[in-house]
């Protein structure tokens, strides 16, 4: 029977790239996102085994999601938590609404989706991939809220790897730098002070490649996620793998 991957944030730039990679690899893809229209568009591009528009910031919805995926697909072999949102600004200007949004999407949803997925992943001896960030293991100025959410997600991944190793479940975090997706465009438009291209140039100025610096393509991250879910990667668990052109290597 074909293996099944469940992808959260599947309508986004990274999530949809992950969905395409697994579909091209012969896996059945179950997709979820709060963006129902985006999910529908993805379903026109790819054969989806399941597609559910849910707000995973509620733990009960995470369990509902897994129940539906198992009912439709009969199994689960990999979970990829790719849902994420960005907010930036000084801590003293952070609203409670933004705090709740970022922690709900970036951490709470992943936490409870992982929890709901453990039972079927024990059966398949499957894999969890949490999309973290370079901001999860180094401080990024003016992004304390996002850093806090991704730092917590990174350590959640490591702890789950230890807790679930005896069950044959592997858990890893993947930590990209800036990815050329609509999320990055949103950042630049919202926080670029009227100069989104200048905002992006400032981000690229931090990369060690100098004038050759570019943003990561979502397909590149998807390829790493695909690799980690394959049997030949069975020795890799509890890792936080950077894919960031060396951005987090040091200064």
Catalytic residue list: 146
Q: Tokens 């993805």 sit at which residue?
A: 42
Give which of 185, 203, 236 is closest to 134, Cα–Cα: 203
**Six-digit token pair at 210?**
């100098």
Continuous H helices in the chain: 13-24, 36-45, 59-73, 96-103, 109-124, 144-164, 182-191, 196-204, 218-228
- Angle among Cα 100, 102, 103 to the nearest 5 degrees reads 65
**Six-digit token pair at 192?**
């670029």
**Six-digit token pair at 146?**
């996002």
In eight-state DSSP terms, residue 169 is: -
Strand pairing partners for 53?
Answer: 33
Interatomic CA distance for residues 178 and 248, integer angstroms: 11
Phi and psi at residue 229, to the nearest 5°? -90, 0
Continuous H helices in 128-195: 144-164, 182-191
Strand pairing partners for 80?
Answer: 7, 129
Phi and psi at residue 204, to the nearest 5°? -65, -25
């Amino acid at each position: 029977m074909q293996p099944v991957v469940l992808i959260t944030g599947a309508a986004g730039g990274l999530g949809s790239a992950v969905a395409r990679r697994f579909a091209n690899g012969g896996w059945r893809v179950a997709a979820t996102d709060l963006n129902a229209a985006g999910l529908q568009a993805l379903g026109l591009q790819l054969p989806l085994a399941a597609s559910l528009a849910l707000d995973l910031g509620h733990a009960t919805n995470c369990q509902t999601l897994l129940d539906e995926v198992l009912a439709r697909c009969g199994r689960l072999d990999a979970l990829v938590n790719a849902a994420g949102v960005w907010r930036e600004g000084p801590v003293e200007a952070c609203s409670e609404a933004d705090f709740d949004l970022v922690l709900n999407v970036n951490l709470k949803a992943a936490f409870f989706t992982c929890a709901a997925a453990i039972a079927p992943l024990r059966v398949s001896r499957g894999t969890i991939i949490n999309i973290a960030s370079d901001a999860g293991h180094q401080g990024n100025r003016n992004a304390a809220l996002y850093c806090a959410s991704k730092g917590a997600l990174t350590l959640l991944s490591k702890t789950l790897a230890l807790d679930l190793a005896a069950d044959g479940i592997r858990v890893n975090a993947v930590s990209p730098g800036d990815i050329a997706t609509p999320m990055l465009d949103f950042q630049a438009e919202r926080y670029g002070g009227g100069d989104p291209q200048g905002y992006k140039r400032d981000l690229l100025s931090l990369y060690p490649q100098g004038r050759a610096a570019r943003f990561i393509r979502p397909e590149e991250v998807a390829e790493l996620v695909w690799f980690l879910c394959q049997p030949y990667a069975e020795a890799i668990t509890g890792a936080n793998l950077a894919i960031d052109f060396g951005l987090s290597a040091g200064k």
